Chains A and B, each alone.
Chain A
Amino acid sequence: MKLVKKQQGSSQRDSGTPLVAGTMDRRTFLKRSGITAGGVAAAGSLSLSMMKRAAATEAPATDVQSKAAKMRTVCTHCSVGCGIYAEVENGVWTGQEPAFDHPFNRGAHCAKGAAVREHGHGERRLKYPTKLVDGKWTRVSWQQAIDEIGDQMLQIREQSGPDSVYWLGSAKHNNEQAYLFRKFAALWGTNNVDHQARICHSTTVAGVANTWGYGAMTNSYNDIHNSQAILIIGGNPAEAHPVSMQHVFRATERNRAPLIVIDPRFTRTAAHADLYMRIRPGTDVPVVWGMLWHIFENGWEDKEFIRQRVYGMDEIRTEVAKWTPDEVEHVAGVPEETVKRAAKIMAEHRPGTFIWCMGGTQHTIGNNNTRAYCVFQLALGNLGVTGGGTNIFRGHDNVQGATDLGVLSHTLPGYYGLAEGAWQHWSKVWDIDYDWLSGRFDREERAGEFFGEEGSDETDKINAMNSKGIPVSRWIDGVLEEKTNIAQRDNLRAMVFWGHAPNSQTRGPEMKKAMEKLDLLVVIDPYPTVSAVMHDRSDGVYLLPASTQFETYGSVTASNRSIQWRDKVIEPLFESLPDHTIMYKLAQKLGFADQLCKHIAVNGEEPLIEDITREFNKGMWTIGYTGQSPERLKQHQQNWHTFDYTSLEAKGGPANGDYYGMPWPCWGTAEIGHPGTPNLYDTSKPVSRGGLNFRARFGVERDGVNLLAEGSYPEGNEIKDGHPEFTADMLEKLGWWGDLTDEEKQAAAGKNWKTDLSGGIQRVAIKHGCAPFGNAKARAIVWTFPDPVPVHREPLYTSRRDLVEKYPSYEDRRSFYRLPTRYGSIQAKDYTADYPLIMTSGRLVEYEGGGDETRSNPWLAELQQDMFAEINIVDANNNGISDGQQIWVESPEGARIKVMAKVTQDGVAAGVVWLPFHFGGHFQGRDLRDKYPTGSDPYVLGEACNTAFTYGYDSVTAMQETKCSLCRISRA
């Protein structure tokens, strides 16, 4: 049902007229459809007292679904991927029932999941295209908005090149939209495209993939049932992934698995731990090496596993030897007894799983942290076994999928990278002329015209097609940095926030400046977001209403790599459109819609979702997104009940033997029926049944040492030892070429397992029990990274000046992801006299990400109405602050935020201030509520903690530092 009240005039920010939205909830629906009698509203029913009631105009019933229907969908909040039954009557979402038969959540939800039906109300949504004219929000038509935006973009392209438009995508897109978005950016001709993964788990993906092949959760939430011990570091799943805790409790209760929580803050997860270890923020490497010190000291490591499957552990030993119990206590603040106890627990309870989140990743040395975690598990032999693994809990519902589909400035879909071969591969999949595509990109006319990338040969001309784009964490520098210091033609001049909350990024005052300097700011989102209000622009801002994932359909990848299919629950509300429709509209205006949808059917202006799935199935060979055809995905969706709660394997039913959602890699084409890979690198199963080994990604030999696995291989492997990745050549040498069909031979000639579009090479490798990507050792040292052995480095804004000399940060870099990047020059200055407290951040269960969506949901917003800072009672008393007072939190770069004090005895240690990051809509003490388009301001506003967070970027991925900075507090 199109719930659009079309006669509504333009809404202006100061007009003060209540927005009459034709939104409809269940009660309104019941009333209108004559099911309820009229009468006086009794307490406990009808409208929310604080909300302006939608006027009971009779919306014309168009596109009505004729009878009650039960749709199967998936929660759009976190990456657990909880199933939901949505009851829909006459196009209205009237009920939400628990999906007891869903293998991930068994009907369970957290506060957010239990409140998703509010998406069917959408009272605070952005309702129609709106633009800012002389400081007033003015309603415009879709066509006018697209035309004006398109014209400006084409003009910017003409003047400054395609790299001056930034395409900021989203982990909220489904897989099809994410893929189409990346393709869209490619056809526009830029790598300035990115999404939230950059600022959540980019250091995980880089660290983990460079250790053993794939940068994803190795096992699954359900597989935690098999764990004998659980270690969580820098993560608070009780708030961030609450449903995962049902799996954790299964292990703690049934296996008596000890739960270890390592965190600077005593979290709700820590409240359930057997061992809680408080560390100083940013000391993950010292603590992990400290535990490993005891493991090596006592000979608890798995020597046979290391011999067969790990390269470089000796160099780790040398580094670990430096982290004596005294040094660990000196740096991290944890006594020997606690560290040893944690190490002993993990050594004695195998297999144990190792879980981490943002507390580990969001650091200037995030990639060192994630690799240290991996090495810890390798040392104990906890990889490739059920119950073990590195169970990395991703954030948004589809951040895994959007990462896999390459909505990133440094790669194409499937982690193919940006080298010419990658572009050739995707050009072939897209059936687009490579030279035409290449011509869409900017390039130097003379060498050195752009500011050269670090390490690039100054005599080579930079081709923007092959150079990493600006990451989302640093778009503000792309706008503000001197043009001559950026490795592209011009500054960023237009930003497109397509499903992104700016308050999830650091350096608020500079971001405001950057927003104001832009020529064009476009927000495409179900909500106006903080991007609509945090600047003081009066023109050049467009807000376009996108639909939520409940108003479209498609696939979504959970953290455990399972791909799930979502039904469309309701038709798009108001004037919103699904993201892929908006992409098509914009591509039409920009002149490449035909290339975008060359082999994708377009229904009106909506590209067909299933065709998009089929297209990425055709090209995603690297990580096995090839076997999950829309037909198989839908079959899994219709048979939730057949999948086992622990193993995820279908026991009988039409998907018999498949693992739920065919966790990637699901090798080969859909026709070969690979079941998916439930646990990565598990040699106890044949590859054809989901077994695997570490990937041969880093060569076969280094300094004369064999990098291939020795005597370890998956069940049924005919080579019975390590081997390199498969190529056509290798098939010939092994005498397996003849196993290919004639058709496959034609496609496979001269290709490898990643580029053979027939899938024949993969099929034959698997037929002989081999992993297509080879069989190698994991590498404990990553020789291509700034720190091959993960080492500790103090944060840029450290509270421990005494440690800077011994554990300094990096030297400043001339050009990194196209931008100069500072490390040492910031660390050189001592701020601790004025800013004596450590500032760190985290999550609340009620909200998600920047919170624009969840703070607009009254059922959630009521539960957390104030932005706060958690401070220790000692710091509170020292600064004359009492619980509930308003305080200023000020940081060294000059930003300040006004928040409520939450005084705690033990929640954080003295000297540490903890801030939740979901708030927005206040800026340095100023309430911006009147700047939202009327009727679309979230119920709850507050200061964004990231306004106060400071400079600092990971040395490999440019992840922002949000877990260690400095601050001072005072009464407001």
Chain B
Amino acid sequence: MARMKFLCDVERCIECNACVTACKNENEVPWGVNRRRVVTINDGSPGERSMSVACMHCSDAPCAAVCPVDCFYTTDDGVVLHDKDICIGCGYCFYACPFGAPQFPSESAFGSRGKMDKCTFCAGGPEADNSPEEHRKYGSNRLAEGKLPACAEMCATRSLLAGDGDTVSDIFRERVTWRGSSGLAWGWGVAYSKPGLRRGRGVEGKAVGED
């Protein structure tokens, strides 16, 4: 059985935020709720890298483990979803999640916030697939239509990949093969008769190899 996964290839992420607005567009998520966002480290310095983050649909999801009303469930595709009819908006999942994925409507004061909202992997919720009720509470159910999440489908550089974990890893493996191993591998320039500059792309954002 497929297990759905996201993978963000930081060598390609350019922090263009297409994934963020694609999500807003597809699911009509209100201002202040960000099911997905792009995190940048070392902004404006050599070594700057960005990564698009949302719910990672963990195999053993901490949010589900701590939820006092047990509103989380995992679909056959490995997508972690929750039931807004059960959710009490306590925010405990927010503490547990390592990715900051759970979101809460921002118009209310703390303590009286609304039900939790998060990335559904564009897979809706517990209601019947693509029913009006599901659409109203959770947004799109693209998986039920045979499509993948809008964020990954619209990624500018194909940095953000989504789908069956096996397929995603195949794509990423092929990419890594094209890029080559670490530029520091001994003999690289000789073996590939491309001496000099591009022996591989280091994560420091600098060219690896010598003049």
Question: What is the CA–CA distance of A97 and B132 in the complex, to the nearest angstrom?
Answer: 20
Q: Does B48 contact A (CB under 8 A)?
A: yes
Using known A-B contacts A44-B103, A114-B22, A273-B205, determine if residue A107 contacts B153 with beta carbons closer than 8 Å: yes
Which chain B residues border A269 with CB–CB below 8 Å?
Answer: 14
Which chain A residues border B198 with CB–CB below 8 Å?
Answer: 252, 256-258, 274
Task: Please give the distance in Å from A889's CB to the nearest CB on chain B.
Answer: 19
Q: Of A182-190, A240-248, A325-333, A566-574, which binds chain B?
A: A240-248
Verify A42–B178 contact, CB threshold 8 A.
no
Which chain A residues border B49 with CB–CB below 8 Å?
Answer: 271
Contact flags B6-22 to A (C-beta < 8 A → 1, else 0): 00000110111111111
Verify B31–A862 contact, CB threshold 8 A.
yes
Which chain A residues border B205 with CB–CB below 8 Å?
Answer: 271-273
Verify A906–B30 contact, CB threshold 8 A.
no
Which chain A residues border B31 with CB–CB below 8 Å?
Answer: 48-51, 858, 862
Question: What is the CA–CA distance of A337 and B21 in the complex, to the nearest angstrom?
Answer: 42
Q: Does B112 contact A (CB under 8 A)?
A: no
Using known A-B contacts A111-B20, A862-B31, determine if residue A44 contacts B117 with beta carbons closer than 8 Å: yes
* Size bin of chain B's contact surface: 35 or more
| Most chain A beta-carbon neighbours within 10 Å: one of B18, B21, B46 | B21
Task: Please give the distance in Å from B28's CB to the nearest CB on chain A.
Answer: 6
Verify A268–B105 contact, CB threshold 8 A.
no
| Dominant SS among interface residues on chain B | loop
B157-172 interface with A by 8 A CB criterion: 157-158
Q: Does A253 contact B (CB under 8 A)?
A: yes
Question: What is the CA–CA distance of A49 and B180 in the complex, to the nearest angstrom?
Answer: 48
Which chain B residues border A272 with CB–CB below 8 Å?
Answer: 11, 14, 205
With both beta carbons as reference points, the residue of chain A lying nearest to B49 in the complex is identified as A271
Q: Does B107 contact A (CB under 8 A)?
A: yes
Using known A-B contacts A45-B28, A114-B21, determine if residue A905 contacts B44 with beta carbons closer than 8 Å: yes
Contact of B16 among A239, A254, A859 (CB under 8 A): A239
Contact of B30 among A49, A254, A845 (CB under 8 A): A49
Q: A111-B17, A271-B205, A904-B44 are in contact. List 20 more A-B contacts (CB 8 A).
A: A37-B132, A42-B136, A44-B139, A96-B26, A98-B150, A108-B158, A110-B16, A114-B22, A114-B150, A115-B21, A249-B157, A252-B198, A266-B44, A271-B48, A274-B198, A274-B201, A349-B197, A859-B21, A863-B17, A906-B46
Verify B46–A266 contact, CB threshold 8 A.
yes
Q: Does B121 contact A (CB under 8 A)?
A: no
Verify B136–A46 contact, CB threshold 8 A.
yes
* Size bin of chain A's contact surface: 35 or more
Using known A-B contacts A44-B33, A906-B46, determine if residue A845 contacts B16 with beta carbons closer than 8 Å: yes
19 A–B contacts, CB within 8 A, in A order? A25-B28, A27-B136, A39-B136, A45-B135, A46-B28, A98-B150, A112-B21, A252-B198, A258-B197, A266-B48, A268-B15, A269-B14, A272-B11, A275-B207, A845-B17, A862-B32, A863-B21, A905-B44, A907-B44
Contact flags A215-252 to B (C-beta < 8 A → 1, else 0): 00000000000000000000000110011011001001
Which chain A residues border B173 with CB–CB below 8 Å?
Answer: none
With both beta carbons as reference points, the residue of chain A lying nearest to B105 in the complex is identified as A43
Q: Does A380 contact B (CB under 8 A)?
A: no
Q: Does A131 contact B (CB under 8 A)?
A: no
Task: Please give the distance in Å from A621's CB to the nearest CB on chain B.
Answer: 37
| Most chain B beta-carbon neighbours within 10 Å: one of A27, A110, A112, A906 | A110
Verify A26–B178 contact, CB threshold 8 A.
no
Verify B197–A345 contact, CB threshold 8 A.
yes
Contact of B135 among A30, A112, A348 (CB under 8 A): A30
Task: Please give the distance in Å from A35's CB to the nearest CB on chain B.
Answer: 5
Task: Please give the distance in Å from B110's CB to the nearest CB on chain A.
Answer: 14
Verify A45–B136 contact, CB threshold 8 A.
yes
Which chain A residues border B157 with CB–CB below 8 Å?
Answer: 108, 242-243, 245-246, 249
Task: Please give the distance in Å from A363's CB to the nearest CB on chain B.
Answer: 24
Verify B133–A242 contact, CB threshold 8 A.
no
Q: Does B156 contact A (CB under 8 A)?
A: yes
Using known A-B contacts A50-B31, A274-B206, A905-B45, determine if residue A110 contacts B115 with beta carbons closer than 8 Å: no
Task: Please give the distance in Å from A672's CB to the nearest CB on chain B.
Answer: 38
Q: Does B72 contact A (CB under 8 A)?
A: no
Task: Please give the distance in Å from A857's CB to the nearest CB on chain B.
Answer: 8
With both beta carbons as reference points, the residue of chain B lying nearest to A108 in the complex is identified as B156
Task: List 3 tightest A-B contacts by C-beta distance, closest first.
Answer: A907-B44, A44-B117, A274-B207
Using known A-B contacts A44-B33, A113-B18, determine if residue A242 contacts B156 with beta carbons closer than 8 Å: yes
Question: What is the CA–CA distance of A274 and B46 in the complex, to the nearest angstrom?
Answer: 11
Q: Does B3 contact A (CB under 8 A)?
A: no
| Most chain B beta-carbon neighbours within 10 Å: one of A113, A117, A271, A275 | A271
Which chain A residues border B30 with CB–CB below 8 Å?
Answer: 44-49
Using known A-B contacts A108-B156, A239-B16, A274-B207, determine if residue A41 contacts B46 with beta carbons closer than 8 Å: no
Q: Does A846 contact B (CB under 8 A)?
A: yes
